[in-house]
Amino acid sequence: MKALARGDADFAFLTLKGWTGSGKTHLALGILWDWLERGSAAFYRQVEDMLEEFKALFNRPPGDSGLSFEGMFRGWENVPLAVLDDLGVENPTDWAVAKLDTLVDFRYLRHLPTVFTTNLDLDALPPRVASRLQDVEVGRVIDLGRVDYRRRRRASVRGSPQRGKDEDNDHDEKGVR
């Protein structure tokens, strides 16, 4: 993770998976800040929002001025670091899956640094995307497990001594956002 933050990792894709509240976004934004501080361009978006933005630009009437869909998509394909947060939450229309697939494949083939987060099992993601994330020649997957820092914070506010037990009860929060 530190190597990717420094920009000298021998892999391009980093996937942070884990329970809601396990710190995925926190870590991904930490990596993003390191890149921005070095003066590099870097994009961050929740995948769902990115695909919504793509769709809005794609559907714009011809002749509209401003950023085109192609311009924005090329930007995402080529930005030095892309952080795609909450993979798998997006509405899986064929169009959205195809655009995401194209973007991931473009960056995969060129080994462009990309951080993904998800609270799903990788098997639950679109198969072509999941396959690329798990290719050990290109990527690493880190499982942050079932810790929930939000729940811990609540427990410490309450002064609860049962932190470990709380985490075991996280089952019922699966998918809560």
Ligand X SMILES: Nc1ncnc2c1ncn2[C@@H]1O[C@H](COP(=O)(O)OP(=O)(O)OP(=O)(O)O)[C@@H](O)[C@H]1O
Considering the rule CB under 5 A, would residue 46 count as an interface residue with Mg ion? no
Contacts of 161 (CB under 8 A, 6+ apart): none
User: In angstroms, what CA-CA distances link 168 with 89, 100, 176?
Assistant: 24, 34, 16
Residue appearing with tokens 């290109």? 138
Decide if 141 contacts 133 (C-beta within 8 A): yes
Q: Minimum distance from CB of 19 to ligand X (Å)? A: 7
Q: Minimum distance from CB of 1 to Mg ion (Å)? A: 16
Closest among 99, 108, 105 to 14, alpha carbons compared: 108
Considering the rule CB under 5 A, would residue 25 count as an interface residue with Mg ion? yes
Report what 149 binds from Mg ion, ligand X, none; CB cut-off 5-8 Å by kind. ligand X
Among 149, 158, 169, 174, binds ligand X (CB under 6 A): 149
Task: Give the separation between CA 136 and CA 102, rounded to whole angstroms.
Answer: 20
Under rule CB under 6 A, which residues in 21-40 are in contact with ligand X? Answer: 21-26
Q: Minimum distance from CB of 144 to ligand X (Å)? A: 7
Considering the rule CB under 6 A, would residue 88 count as an interface residue with ligand X? no
Dihedral sign for Cα atoms in the order 148, 152, 158, 163: positive
Assigned token pair, 123: 């098997």
User: In angstroms, what CA-CA distances link 126 with 32, 90, 120, 131, 157?
Assistant: 25, 11, 11, 9, 39
Considering the rule CB under 6 A, would residue 46 count as an interface residue with ligand X? no
Q: Which is nearer to ligand X, 18 or 126 (CB)?
A: 18
Q: Minimum distance from CB of 105 to ligand X (Å)? A: 25
Residues that bind Mg ion (CB under 5 A): 24-25
Residues that bind ligand X (CB under 6 A): 18, 20-26, 119, 149-150, 177
